[in-house]
Structure 1
Amino acid sequence: MSKITEVKARQLIDCKCRPMVEVDVITEKGSLGRGSAPTGSSVGMYESFVLRDGDPKEYDGLSVHNAVRNVNEIIAPALIGKEVKDQAGLDRIMIDLDGTSDKRRLGGNAIYSASIAAFRAAAEDEKTPLYEYIAEGPVKSVPIPSFNVINGGRNPGATQAFNEFIVMPYRADSIYEAVEIAVKVFQKLGGVIKKHTGKAPGVGGSYGWIAPSEDPDEVLSLMQEAIDECGYTKKCAFALDCAASEMYDAETKSYYLNGGRISSGEMIGYIKRLTEKWNFVFIEDMLDENDWEGYAAAHKAIDRTLIIADDLTASNRARIERAYNDGSIDGFILKPNQVGTISEALESHRYAKERGLLSITSGRSGGVIGDVVMDMAVGLGIGFIKNGCPRSGERIDKLNFLMRVADLSEGCRMADISDLVRF
């Protein structure tokens, strides 16, 4: 047994220079656990609430001093003296203190940061890496990373409806080769884009190349050209994060695509045709976060890729349960900060795994060094994950984490997902 003796929060900044909450939890054994909450740029309406101060004089209203104060003055007194290994109990204390469905009183960013800090402190008490603490022993595999090499959305010169165009080196021989493939393909892709457009590509909000065309098929063609020129044709496939809610108009119930607007059924038909032309491991958020009927229809119509939800499910067990009962998805993106505590995220993973659904961990665009999702990905034995573009410190940190774990863990290999691939 080891009790919490100190909880302390502060304001720092994330990789996009937006204020974030960082929390330290210290135990009576002297162990320190530290946690901070990343934030996304594409944020669903069902995520836990990120509490910001709204003071335009500081960081244009994005400062988080109120959330920090909530940790130091409300959460800390409630957690001090409690057993650090009782993750579910600690999280329940904070959920009850908050008393809202989306953690908006104390702030999801305050609660989640404290939840991570306690999780890390418990592992530190055991003198074990967090991923081994989660796995309850040595790990035998690391997940296959996937890479958001072209960023869509609203950019100067083109509005690309789909948000992330992803390369997955799913047939690499090792995690080391997978990372090298991503680096080489990404660098080659810049030259391919320049050759076709006559100008160097810009850098998008998620650090990939800005989509040079509104036509998803054309973007995929450029990616395939880069893969082929690098000699990795047989080792790579694609994935998409459509982030369709960003391009959905609720009034007309239509989606923006290729300069026009289409219905849910037309979007399903379009994506089905893409999957018949290109090899996709998964397609994420292909429809709006409230289009339950559309997801069920898509899952029936599209059989050559995995249908994955993010905004629809928001890492929330109740929403995952509804999607499972509707037969709408093959899995969900696991972003623990969406639901707001470690124990709730672990429960969502457990529920999904027991029913044959995939959990795919992902960082956020406003990422952090040492993101707990990497420990969770390895410790939970997840097959493949989203890593972002192979550029910028916090994204490179995630890749180095996977290679380090593979080196330090005897007999550890990159996961094999051949039984999941549908093309």
Structure 2
Amino acid sequence: MKIASVAARQLLDCKARPLVEVEITTDTGHVGCGASPTGSSVGTHEAFVSRDGNPSEYDGLSVHRAVNAVTDEIAPALIGAELDDPRTLDRIMIELDGTPDKRRLGGNAIYSTSIALLRAASGAAGTPTYAYVAALLGLDPPGTVPAPSFNMINGGRYGDVFQTFNEFLVVPYRAHSIESAVERGVTLFGVLGDVLARRYGRAPVMASSFGYVAPSSDPRVVLELLTEAVELAGCADTMAFALDCASSQVYDEGTQTYAFNGERVTSEALIDYAWALSEEFPLLFIEDLLDGDDWDGFTKAAQTIDRSIIVGDDLIVTNRDRLQHAARTSAVDGFILKPNQVGTIAEALDCYEFASQNSILTIPSGRSGGVIDDVVMDLAVGLAAPLQKNGAPRSGERIEKLNFLLRAAERIPDCALADVPALARF
């Protein structure tokens, strides 16, 4: 089987921002499509997203340059190549680009092509992409689906409130099935809206990532509201909480301090505060508590906070070299898998394999500027990940992630929900 054609075009992501879609057709007639999402909280070490910078079109966000990179350079390098293992062709693109962050061709051009290669190969194999991923790595056929985690309340600056923690999540970690997990999350979101309306006397505002706007600058107050909501919804025994702090966004390198609850605080103070929260609330994991280059701080957090899983996103950016350094320094217990951060499926799978060999938890996640048919869901199921970050149970691309899990559970023989209680430390 050889690659017969490679086409690229500019389309839109879920926030109406331009993205690159690539379509690959094999000489056997199999077609694979891929599109690269973009994030709102973007780590400084992520693969470069190539945009045109033309203010007269999409405020400079158009991606014609990346489309041309696919058409003019990537396509000639791939057409006629064998598609036995798409990872081999990923590495051809890496060499063709020749830069550490895929700046020359664009990480969005390369990653969209990488997805299309994977899907064309799985289509030719006659298997779902998640099953193809498992076979590619020599893993057992998928037998579980991950527990979804739901982004309920979002941080940011709204009026007098500046909540520096980015996401407050709930995880139906003790649900007995994926159907129950999804239903609990969706129902809780509605109950939480009622709690916020009663407490503050007005309908809650929806944030740009579709969770509710945080009503307080103090994370403890937000977690108390979530506690009230899970109790009213009758699912307190099922739900755990989680935090995505995204602290790189509020870090000042000059003073080495973080904006937090109306003050500027040190990493030590932030670690102590998070430790206190983990002692008070059932926090399954805490993501990006510190800046994406604060290796010493992450190591201290992992040593100090023993009731929550310390997870790196901006710290790791799905990069195997950074994950290896994290393992050497005992900086994290887990990492967020976002393949577009590193720019190819092959490199993302390399990162997963290292994590698996070193007992580091992998949590696949979509991006805020997502796509309806996100390949990260295939990776989540194919890699038997126990957890999946799905976003708020609102908007089409997030609902589609939930529907993906429901369909997969129906199609996988004797499928079960992953054993998340085995991970809990509280």
> Normalised by the shorter chain, which TM-score bucket?
over 0.9
Structure 1 stretch displaced more, 151-160 or 30-39: 151-160
**Counterpart Cα distance in 1 of 2:83 and 2:158:** 46
Instruction: Please point out which of 384, 388, 395 is paired with 2:387.
Output: 384
**Counterpart Cα distance in 2 of 1:248 and 1:95:** 32
**Equivalent position amino acid for 1:397 in 2:** E
SS at match of 1:387: strand
For the pair 1:245 / 2:248, whether they are aligned, the reply is yes
The equivalent residue for 1:116 is 115
TM-score, normalised to structure 1, is 0.99
SS at match of 2:217: coil
Task: Answer whether contact 1:11 1:68 (CA < 8 A) is retained.
Answer: yes
SS at match of 1:50: coil
**Equivalent position amino acid for 2:80 in 1:** G
Task: Answer whether contact 1:20 1:36 (CA < 8 A) is retained.
Answer: yes
**Counterpart Cα distance in 2 of 1:388 and 1:339:** 21
**Counterpart Cα distance in 1 of 2:384 and 2:368:** 23
- Describe how 1:182-221 pairs up with structure 2 within 5 A: 182-221=185-224
SS at match of 1:411: coil
Aligned CA RMSD, in angstroms, stands at 0.8
The equivalent residue for 2:124 is 125
How many pairs were matched up? 422
The equivalent residue for 1:26 is 25
**Counterpart Cα distance in 1 of 2:346 and 2:291:** 27
Alpha-carbon shift at residue 102 of structure 1 (Å):
0.3
Deviations 1:173-229 (A, max 9, x none): 100000000111101111111111111111111101000110101111111111110
Structure 1 stretch displaced more, 33-42 or 156-165: 156-165
Deviations 1:247-271 (A, max 9, x none): 1111111011110110010000000
Alpha-carbon shift at residue 143 of structure 1 (Å):
0.3
Instruction: Please point out which of 345, 348, 353 is paired with 1:350.
Output: 353
The equivalent residue for 2:65 is 66
The equivalent residue for 1:399 is 402
**Counterpart Cα distance in 1 of 2:132 and 2:85:** 13
**Counterpart Cα distance in 2 of 1:118 and 1:155:** 42
Task: Answer whether contact 1:241 1:283 (CA < 8 A) is retained.
Answer: yes
**Counterpart Cα distance in 2 of 1:217 and 1:195:** 19
For the pair 1:45 / 2:44, whether they are aligned, the reply is yes
**Equivalent position amino acid for 1:330 in 2:** D
**Counterpart Cα distance in 2 of 1:209 and 1:108:** 31
The equivalent residue for 2:35 is 36
The percentage of aligned residue pairs carrying the same residue is 55
**Counterpart Cα distance in 2 of 1:270 and 1:50:** 35
Task: Answer whether contact 1:149 1:167 (CA < 8 A) is retained.
Answer: yes
The equivalent residue for 1:99 is 98
**Equivalent position amino acid for 1:82 in 2:** A
**Counterpart Cα distance in 2 of 1:26 and 1:154:** 46
**Counterpart Cα distance in 2 of 1:280 and 1:210:** 20
**Equivalent position amino acid for 2:38 in 1:** T
Gaps of 5+ in 2: none
For the pair 1:166 / 2:169, whether they are aligned, the reply is yes
SS at match of 1:371: coil
The equivalent residue for 2:84 is 85
**Counterpart Cα distance in 2 of 1:205 and 1:103:** 28
Instruction: Please point out which of 398, 417, 421 is paired with 2:420.
Output: 417
Alpha-carbon shift at residue 76 of structure 1 (Å):
0.3
**Equivalent position amino acid for 1:118 in 2:** L
Deviations 1:68-122 (A, max 9, x none): 0100111001000111232222111111111111001100000000000000000
Deviations 1:381-422 (A, max 9, x none): 111111000000000000000000001111001101222110
SS at match of 2:371: coil
**Counterpart Cα distance in 2 of 1:420 and 1:232:** 19
Task: Answer whether contact 1:99 1:105 (CA < 8 A) is retained.
Answer: yes
Task: Answer whether contact 1:85 1:119 (CA < 8 A) is retained.
Answer: no
**Counterpart Cα distance in 2 of 1:118 and 1:412:** 28
Deviations 1:143-185 (A, max 9, x none): 0000001010223331101000000000011000000001111
SS at match of 2:59: helix
Task: Answer whether contact 1:98 1:106 (CA < 8 A) is retained.
Answer: yes
**Counterpart Cα distance in 1 of 2:110 and 2:238:** 41
For the pair 1:294 / 2:292, whether they are aligned, the reply is no
**Counterpart Cα distance in 2 of 1:25 and 1:157:** 50
The equivalent residue for 2:143 is 140
SS at match of 2:104: coil
Instruction: Please point out which of 316, 325, 344 is paired with 1:341.
Output: 344
SS at match of 2:400: helix
SS at match of 1:307: strand
Deviations 1:1-32 (A, max 9, x none): x1100000000000000000000011011000
SS at match of 1:193: helix
Gaps of 5+ in 1: none
Task: Answer whether contact 1:146 1:166 (CA < 8 A) is retained.
Answer: yes
